[in-house]
Chains A and B, each alone.
Chain A
């Protein structure tokens, strides 16, 4: 099935669309009972990633973000519209490769590749008036300069590598306040309490919807597959906030009915997997897809393309602009379990907490080859999970589809070992 306008597309878009189409078809067609409310998201990705349709965005200036550590509320408050630029296309990964060293993070390469296409880059959000590039992981930090070469106005948001110290907290609050001033210059609109308040209300509504979805995934038997949730959160990157929230609320309603009816989205006794590590971004949902094709179900995730982006919610004690900006800064820094921090005991604790809450049987730890921070944390996370008696499969992969064969073998072996272990435990009196 070739879409009508494929021949009019410039050659390079063709391959990108092909890749997205193959992935989306797999995501949709290989699973029989997808929730009806997911149709919005499937259609959205089909239109944006495959037909290359330009998203109708409000005329306000577009602010690109290369990481979750960018306070979106400030962008909405000054009347601009944020779009998350992290990209998952293998096609852009290859284009971006000539900016980056051989063994480096595919996500950064793909992002650079997409930015190389300027306005034609998918998802098409039109001209980017500013790109905010927080100095979180090294390769992304260095990519900032390359984006400037491409002619973008890049704001380097200084982000501390430590989050426990007082100095780091103040340093981050100052850099967020400075960022807010730059935003005010960009749009010429002043940051007032009313605007910031409304912006926070919009994102809070979205976060509330996500939390409802997140809590529903605790159901056993699980009511929704991980790949759908990843699609939903990936849509948050570029979709209109209100439409996204309505769609998620509809999905949550439908899932609640499923939970009531005791519907099982995955196979019987499917191993419940907690997904962590480098963020899966459409169309690179390879690993979650392989897990769920092999009969597992991703019940929870601790990645910055989903849970870490939307889970924690800010609180404001006094509704004065200065304190609202500060609490936003705290909200992005303190709960974050990103591996770029010096210590990762928060992340280990968070993983154990998620495993306990979601009754996960195993953890799949994805690390893009070349992403040292995740690769290095594999050891400590592995040790903690091992002590807790939770099996973990460490997968080092990148955007190329050619290792799907090997990965599927490993994942199948991992899931089988979980199944036999569960059967054994069930057979021998089922003690935990």
Chain B
């Protein structure tokens, strides 16, 4: 890339760019259905399938859980091909943006970022987990991922009745909140028809309430427990978009950790690892924007360096950030 173009990209005001990108993605994935946009049903982020008319494609977790809950003879027989093609499509979508899907495209993530900016405007402090809580809670998403596989398989095997179908979707705040954006309050219910649905829809509603408060107080609250993020991480090795760190240039000033929504310590403390994206990361790239050391943190798409930390870019963003917010009060 010519150096002038590179300088322009490195000096980008990431906050503004990401805000508009997320807004566009939100409109696409929540209202795309009205424009007859249909990107299939293997999307790697929460374009919720319950938002019947508006959705531009279905989040892969819904069809995955349906396919897995087919009776075993079918599932491990001819229906298995359906599962594999579904996963292959999901994988192809995923490797393009890696976990950038969470940071830039996911409507639920965007919703949480909007809640965060609302809190910021109201002048309310955000909360942090602290290292101990972080280390314990980072496992929850893998537990949820395992349950999301096991429960449908149990249904297929006849161990659980069909009321447990699509278990994660029933407790996911996305199912309850995203359809509200297309004026469809159908999901705001507790289903008493059986134990399974009662427990799951009850949990779903409670978690929706918890989600609203959590996302308001803690930045990207739900992404910390999201099984999709866990699934992403398991298959993130061959992805094209990568977050790279050069330990030698790092002065361990901790700026990247300071701005990280997900409160990841490894970004600042780990000097050996080159591919620095951890399981919690959403590739929102705020760390690269906050790094003053040229070339210490950079984003590569198929090994082409598309955005990297530069001193000039850092100063421009800091001055703008200061000026931008200072005039508010």
Contact, CB under 8 Å: A334 / B254: yes
Contact, CB under 8 Å: B248 / A313: no
Contact, CB under 8 Å: B318 / A315: yes
User: Of A192, A194, A312, A323, which one neighbours B125 at CB under 8 angstroms?
Assistant: A323
Q: Which of A83-91, A183-191, A200-208, A224-232 contacts B (4 or more CB under 8 A)?
A: A200-208
Contact, CB under 8 Å: B325 / A208: no
User: Quick one: which of B98-120 are within 8 Å of A by CB?
Assistant: 120
Taking the closest CB of chain A, its distance from the CB of B282, in whole angstroms, is: 15
Contact, CB under 8 Å: A353 / B290: no
B130 CB within 8 Å of chain A? yes
Q: Mark A249-292, 1 if CB is under 8 A from B, else 0.
A: 00000000000000000000000000000000000000000000
Taking the closest CB of chain A, its distance from the CB of B125, in whole angstroms, is: 5
For B256, give the chain A residue with the smallest CB separation: A315
User: Quick one: which of A315-350 are within 8 Å of B by CB?
Assistant: 315-320, 322-323, 327, 330-331, 334-335, 346, 349-350
Taking the closest CB of chain B, its distance from the CB of A103, in whole angstroms, is: 33
Which 6 A-B pairs give the minimum distances between C-beta atoms?
Answer: A334-B254, A319-B325, A335-B253, A315-B255, A317-B259, A166-B131
B126 CB within 8 Å of chain A? yes
Contact, CB under 8 Å: B131 / A211: no
Q: What are 27 sample pairs from A and B whose C-beta atoms fall under 8 A apart?
A: A166-B130, A166-B131, A166-B132, A193-B329, A197-B322, A197-B325, A197-B326, A201-B319, A201-B326, A204-B318, A204-B322, A215-B311, A313-B315, A315-B290, A315-B314, A315-B318, A316-B321, A317-B290, A320-B125, A322-B125, A330-B254, A331-B253, A331-B254, A331-B255, A335-B253, A335-B254, A352-B248
Contact, CB under 8 Å: B251 / A315: no
Taking the closest CB of chain B, its distance from the CB of A36, in whole angstroms, is: 27
B237 CB within 8 Å of chain A? no
A198 CB within 8 Å of chain B? yes
A58 CB within 8 Å of chain B? no
A164 CB within 8 Å of chain B? yes
Give the distance in Å from the alpha carbon of A318 to the alpha carbon of B329 in the complex. 13
Contact, CB under 8 Å: A320 / B123: yes
Chain A residues near B6: list those with CB within 8 A.
Answer: none
A314 CB within 8 Å of chain B? yes
For A352, give the chain B residue with the smallest CB separation: B248
Taking the closest CB of chain A, its distance from the CB of B220, in whole angstroms, is: 12
Contact, CB under 8 Å: A353 / B249: yes
Contact, CB under 8 Å: A193 / B326: yes
Contact, CB under 8 Å: B319 / A204: yes
Give the distance in Å from the alpha carbon of A352 to the alpha carbon of B311 in the complex. 20
Chain A residues near B248: list those with CB within 8 A.
Answer: 349, 352-353, 356
For A333, give the chain B residue with the smallest CB separation: B254
User: Quick one: which of B312-328 are within 8 Å of A by CB?
Assistant: 314-315, 318-319, 321-322, 325-326, 328
User: Quick one: which of B72-128 are within 8 Å of A by CB?
Assistant: 120, 123, 125-126
Chain B residues near A327: list those with CB within 8 A.
Answer: 258
Given contacts A170-B130, A204-B319, A317-B259, 14 further A-B contacts (CB under 8 A): A166-B131, A194-B329, A200-B322, A215-B311, A315-B259, A318-B120, A319-B325, A320-B120, A320-B123, A322-B125, A323-B125, A330-B254, A349-B248, A356-B248
Taking the closest CB of chain A, its distance from the CB of B165, in whole angstroms, is: 41
Chain A residues near B131: list those with CB within 8 A.
Answer: 166
User: Quick one: which of B7-50 are within 8 Å of A by CB?
Assistant: none
Interface residues on A, range: 35 or more
Taking the closest CB of chain A, its distance from the CB of B174, in whole angstroms, is: 25
B268 CB within 8 Å of chain A? yes
For A169, give the chain B residue with the smallest CB separation: B254
Known contacts A312-B292, A335-B254; is A201 also within 8 Å of B322 by CB? Answer: yes
Known contacts A164-B269, A166-B131; is A194 also within 8 Å of B326 by CB? Answer: yes
For A201, give the chain B residue with the smallest CB separation: B322
Contact, CB under 8 Å: A319 / B249: no
Contact, CB under 8 Å: B258 / A315: yes
Chain A residues near B286: list those with CB within 8 A.
Answer: 317
Chain B residues near A335: list those with CB within 8 A.
Answer: 251-254
Known contacts A204-B319, A318-B126; is A198 also within 8 Å of B249 by CB? Answer: no
Give the distance in Å from the alpha carbon of A353 to the alpha carbon of B247 in the complex. 10
Taking the closest CB of chain A, its distance from the CB of B43, in whole angstroms, is: 29
For A316, give the chain B residue with the smallest CB separation: B321
Interface residues on B, range: 20 to 34
For A335, give the chain B residue with the smallest CB separation: B253
Chain A residues near B290: list those with CB within 8 A.
Answer: 315, 317
Taking the closest CB of chain A, its distance from the CB of B4, in whole angstroms, is: 20
Contact, CB under 8 Å: A350 / B318: no
Known contacts A330-B258, A334-B268; is A319 also within 8 Å of B253 by CB? Answer: no
Contact, CB under 8 Å: A198 / B252: no
Contact, CB under 8 Å: A312 / B326: no
For B323, give the chain A residue with the smallest CB separation: A201
Give the distance in Å from the alpha carbon of A169 to the alpha carbon of B268 in the complex. 14
Chain B residues near A323: list those with CB within 8 A.
Answer: 125-126
Chain B residues near A356: list those with CB within 8 A.
Answer: 248
Give the distance in Å from the alpha carbon of A208 to the alpha carbon of B317 in the complex. 13
Give the distance in Å from the alpha carbon of A208 to the alpha carbon of B314 in the complex. 11
Taking the closest CB of chain A, its distance from the CB of B129, in whole angstroms, is: 11
Give the distance in Å from the alpha carbon of A273 to the alpha carbon of B133 in the complex. 46
Contact, CB under 8 Å: A314 / B255: yes
Taking the closest CB of chain B, its distance from the CB of A168, in whole angstroms, is: 11
Chain B residues near A215: list those with CB within 8 A.
Answer: 311
For A204, give the chain B residue with the smallest CB separation: B318
Give the distance in Å from the alpha carbon of A132 to the alpha carbon of B326 in the complex. 28
Give the distance in Å from the alpha carbon of A35 to the alpha carbon of B158 in the complex. 86
Contact, CB under 8 Å: B315 / A208: yes
Give the distance in Å from the alpha carbon of A431 to the alpha carbon of B258 in the complex. 42
Contact, CB under 8 Å: B252 / A334: yes
For B315, give the chain A residue with the smallest CB separation: A208
Give the distance in Å from the alpha carbon of A311 to the alpha carbon of B311 in the complex. 11
Q: Mark A20-52, 1 if CB is under 8 A from B, else 0.
A: 000000000000000000000000000000000
Chain A residues near B322: list those with CB within 8 A.
Answer: 197, 200-201, 204, 316, 319
Taking the closest CB of chain A, its distance from the CB of B140, in whole angstroms, is: 20
Q: Mark B234-261, 1 if CB is under 8 A from A, else 0.
A: 0000000000000011011111001100
Give the distance in Å from the alpha carbon of A407 to the alpha carbon of B147 in the complex. 72
Give the distance in Å from the alpha carbon of A350 to the alpha carbon of B251 in the complex. 7
Chain B residues near A314: list those with CB within 8 A.
Answer: 255
For B132, give the chain A residue with the smallest CB separation: A166
Give the distance in Å from the alpha carbon of A316 to the alpha carbon of B269 in the complex. 19
Taking the closest CB of chain A, its distance from the CB of B171, in whole angstroms, is: 30
Q: Mark B271-289, 1 if CB is under 8 A from A, else 0.
A: 1000000000000001000
Q: Mark A151-192, 1 if CB is under 8 A from B, else 0.
A: 000000000000010100010000000000000000000001
Taking the closest CB of chain B, its distance from the CB of A234, in whole angstroms, is: 23
Give the distance in Å from the alpha carbon of A390 to the alpha carbon of B65 in the complex. 61
Taking the closest CB of chain A, its distance from the CB of B328, in whole angstroms, is: 8
